[in-house]
Structure 1
Amino acid sequence: MRLAVVGAGWAGMAAAVEAASRGIDVTVFESARTLGGRARALPAQLPDGTPLTIDNGQHILIGAYSDTLALMQRVGLDLSQALLALPLALPHTDGSGLQTPAWAAHWPAPLDALAAIATTRSWRWRERLALVNASLRWQRQGFQCDPQLTVAELCARLPARVVQELIEPLCVSALNTPTVDASAAVFLRVLRDALFGKGFAGFSASSLLLPRTDLSRLFPDAAAEWLLRHGGSTQMRIGTRVSTLRPLRNAMDAGPRRWRRGL
């Protein structure tokens, strides 16, 4: 079997690795000269001509992203060298905001998150308790809710400061959608994985994982090298734009006709 993957972003490279591991001959087409799609490195230079590499967007992983981390490990990345793990923190410029204390940084989930909530200096005790109670209630409910519910509706009873300083920034960063439009069901799954889930490869589920290298080398380049080593007839067509996809109607129709004749 032969497979064409259009786009060498993170999803495209993940698909190519999975297909090649199953013995499929893969050809990856990418219009850009750099792998990674929307999360890639870009060559640039300073006004004085000094070359430098910048990222196309800053992406932060968390320890709960076990499938992504397992895939990175699968293509040969040493996660401890590729990623810097930091405790969960959403600080403000004045030092306030949600931050995991150093003494709880290595506690298992959800104890580390509960410690961060309990020690948030800018929140009153009733605000902390309201979030803890809501989180435990969502856990008892299996982190499930009415699929039509929005995040704003889900958190309507939480104190305004908790919503403004935690729920809204977490919702926008995780779902790229404001709370009035975001799905509460999806948001609860994010909370389940990030605050109550299991980590991977020694990382806490809520740990913030910052790249130690540029985004192309963080996964797409390593995936391409893995494909060329293990992918048999795999080809990487970099700088090749695919503008049209056309079904091979004759080839598609030939199989069913032969199948019917076989009956």
Structure 2
Amino acid sequence: MTPVTIVGGGWAGLAAAVELTSHRIPVTVFEAAGQLGGRARTVEVNRYRIDNGQHLMLGAYHEMLRLMHIVGVNEEDVFDRLPLELFMTGLRTTPVRISLPRQPAPLHLVSGLYRATGIKFSEKMDLVRLCTSLLLRRDTTDRDISLAQWLEQHRQPDSLRQRLWEPLCLATMNTPLDEASTRLFLRVMRDVFTRQSRDADLLLTRRDLGAVFPEPAGRYVEAHGGTIRMKHRVNALRISEYAISAVSVAHQNVLSDHVILAVPPSTCHRLLAPHPILLPLAETIGAIPAAPICTIYIQYASGTTLGRPLIGLVDTTAQWMFDRARNGQAGLMAVVISGAGNHMDADKKTLAETVIREMALLFPHWPPPVDWHVIREKHATFVARPEVNAMRPANRTPVRGLWLAGDYTATGYPATLEGAIRSGIAAARGVMQESGAA
């Protein structure tokens, strides 16, 4: 069996590579960039080593944790695992705090909602009724609708929608409440809250994203006979009699009976479209809309702290802020703006100054910042609308031996790192089954 060719060294491609390597199937990974990790990678800016956007992992990310274990990463070395605490504050709202106790699921959620502060008793009852219906009776929707519609059907008041559901929706889906798929949101909520209480834990990175999975995964693959080719761009696919035969790299054909395309939708469209048998699939993938994420890193004096790992923001430009002290970066705050908006058109200096002014109003005792840096990822995720979720392709393609991997595929999850990893694993298992190696 020729090595399985994996195009793309992001989290999906590396998940496929690790899964295949762990079954003693040789792989060759081609990555166009000079480092692994894709959109969830580590970058160096001036004197900072920061992530290309702030990511939050949860205890429910079982496949991510499994692959980390395979490649030799101990959870305790890269994460602090803490019970879920949501603290939402804003310029014109009463702060909300929901903290989950160490109790069996889903009792921990109901108990945490009862004990929440900043929420009226009637609102707590609205939340408990909704969550009881969702978690215990497995409430489902026959037709996927927007999360805003679903919350209206379940009589959630505007105050909860603004202070709780909208920030949670943006954090989970990178899509506004009025557009987001209820089916995807409920899938995540059930995985997080219904199985075991540890699934709701926050996994807060103590290292940069590169050290969490991409770099150890690359070392694992190479240590077990695989090949990682950095700065190698795949320009074309070679198809013969409805089966993949090779990929073109630097004008040379690399023979392969099995290829996994683990690249962004735009790149995937470019590689698929020249082949008539793949054109309908290419057009579907090309029509999947993308949503941005903007992260403003603001450096304050080293003694500046949030007093907690992260907070949700209401009535401000941004929706979430993370204290990077756990990453050894005291005083560095990562402020996240999810989804599209005017912030994507503003120049970086204007955007940073706007966010810094808002932080000064929220935290008047903080000193002025000493530095800032803006990272915009224009194609961070797919837009998680119901109709877009229905468009997402399967891992298998009409061409024998050609597979897709990426968080945009039909994982049942929104565009998360766990979704990307699950997609890569599914593609790898498809290859093994097709080749008889399963």
Same fold, judged at TM 0.5 (above): yes
Q: Look up the equivalent residue of 2:95 and give its one-letter code.
A: S
Return the offset for 1:197.
Answer: 2.5
Q: Tell which deviates more after alignment, 162-171 or 35-44.
A: 162-171
Q: Give a deviation string over 1:55-74, Cα, whole Å, max 9, x none.
A: 10111101111111111112
Q: Given the superposition, is the C-alpha separation of residues 12 and 251 from structure 1 closer, same or farther in structure 2, using an over 3 Å criterion?
A: closer
Aligned match of 1:44: 45
Range moving further from structure 2, 86-95 or 169-178: 86-95
| CA distance in 2: counterparts of 1:217 and 1:90, whole angstroms | 26
3-state DSSP of counterpart to 1:37:
coil
Equivalent in the alignment of 2:36: 35
Give the Cα separation in 1 of the matches to 2:160 and 2:20.
Answer: 44
Give distance in 2, aligned partners of 1:118 and 1:160. Answer: 19
The one of 69, 73, 78 aligned to 1:77: 73
Question: Partner amino acid for 1:213?
Answer: R
Please give the alpha-carbon distance, in whole angstroms, between the structure 1 residues aligned to 2:139 and 2:35.
39
Q: Give how far 1:251 is off.
A: 7.3
Partner of 1:126: 122
Amino acid at match of 1:75: V
Question: Could you tell me how far apart the structure 2 residues matched to 1:197 and 1:163 are?
Answer: 25
The CA deviation string for residues 98-118 of structure 1, in whole angstroms up to 9 with x for no partner, is 3316xx2x3232233223312
More strand as a share of residues: 2
In structure 2, the partner of 1:245 is 237
Residue of structure 1 equivalent to 2:157: 159
Q: 1:7-61: CA deviations, max 9, x gaps? A: 111111001111222332211011111210011101221xxxxx33111011110
| Counterpart position of 1:97 | 96
Note the residue ranges of structure 1 that are not aligned, 5 or more in a row.
Answer: 46-50, 256-263
Aligned to 1:261: none
Unaligned stretches of 5+ residues in structure 2:
246-256, 258-438
Give the structure with the higher percent helix. 1
Supply the distance in 2 between the matched residues of 1:127 and 1:250 (Cα, whole angstroms). 58
Q: Distance in 2 between the 1:143 and 1:29 partners?
A: 43
What's the counterpart of residue 24 of structure 2?
A: 23
SS in 2 for 1:178: coil
Counterpart Cα distance in 2 of 1:226 and 1:239 = 19
- Percent identity between matched residues is 38
| Other structure's SS at 2:235 match | coil
Match of 2:248 in 1: none
Counterparts in 2 of 1:162 and 1:224: CA distance versus 1, 3 Å: same
Q: Among 189, 194, 213, which residue is 2:207 paired with? A: 213
In structure 2, how many angstroms separate the alpha carbons of the residues matched to 1:147 and 1:205?
A: 27
**Aligned equivalent of 1:225:** 219
Q: CA RMSD in A?
A: 2.2
Distance 1:65 1:252, change over 3 A: closer
The Cα shift of 1:127 comes to 0.5
Distance 1:12 1:252 in 2: 18
Are residues 78 and 56 of structure 1, via their aligned partners in 2, closer, same or farther at CA, if it must alter by over 3 Å? same
Paired AA for residue 82 in structure 1: V
Q: 1:252: how far off?
A: 6.0
SS of equivalent to 1:14: helix
> Which residue type is aligned with residue 175 of structure 1?
M
Measured after TM superposition, the shift of residue 76 of structure 1 is 1.0
Q: Distance in 2 between matches of 1:251 and 1:115?
A: 55
Question: 1:148-176 deviations in whole A, cap 9, x for unaligned?
Answer: 22211111111222222222111111111
Looking at structure 2, the residues matched to 250 and 64 of structure 1 have their Cα atoms a distance apart, in angstroms, of 39
Would the aligned equivalents of 2:33 and 2:230 in 1 still touch at CA under 8 Å?
yes
Cα pair 1:168 1:178 within 8 Å, conserved = yes
Whether contact under 8 Å (2:89, 2:96) holds in the other structure is: no
CA distance in structure 1 between the partners assigned to 2:89 and 2:243 by the alignment: 61
Per-residue CA distance 1:95-143 (angstroms, 9 max, x = gap): 8223316xx2x32322332233122221111101111111111224324
**How far, CA to CA, are the matches of 1:90 and 1:37 in structure 2?**
29
Alpha carbons of 1:61 and 1:251: their partners in 2 closer, same or farther (altered >3 Å)?
A: closer
Instruction: Report SS of the residue matched to 2:207.
Output: coil
**3-state SS, counterpart of residue 91 of structure 1:** strand
1:183 aligns with 181
Q: Secondary structure at the match of 1:205?
A: helix
State the alpha-carbon separation in 1 of the partners of residues 244 and 166 from structure 2. 49
Contact 1:87 1:100 survives alignment (8 Å) = yes
Cα offset, 1:187, TM superposition: 1.1
- After TM superposition, give the deviation of residue 144 of structure 1 in Å: 2.2
The 8 Å contact of residues 31 and 238 in structure 1, kept in 2 or not, is answered as yes
SS at match of 1:243: strand
Aligned equivalents of 1:109 and 1:164: distance in 2?
26
Distance, in Å, in 2 between the alignment partners of 1:148 and 1:111 is 27
Given that residues 237 and 244 in structure 2 are in contact (C-alpha distance below 8 angstroms), is that contact kept between their aligned partners in structure 1?
no
Is the contact made by 1:35 and 1:221 (CA closer than 8 Å) also made in structure 2? yes
Question: Among residues 236, 244, 261, which one is paired with 2:228 in the alignment?
Answer: 236
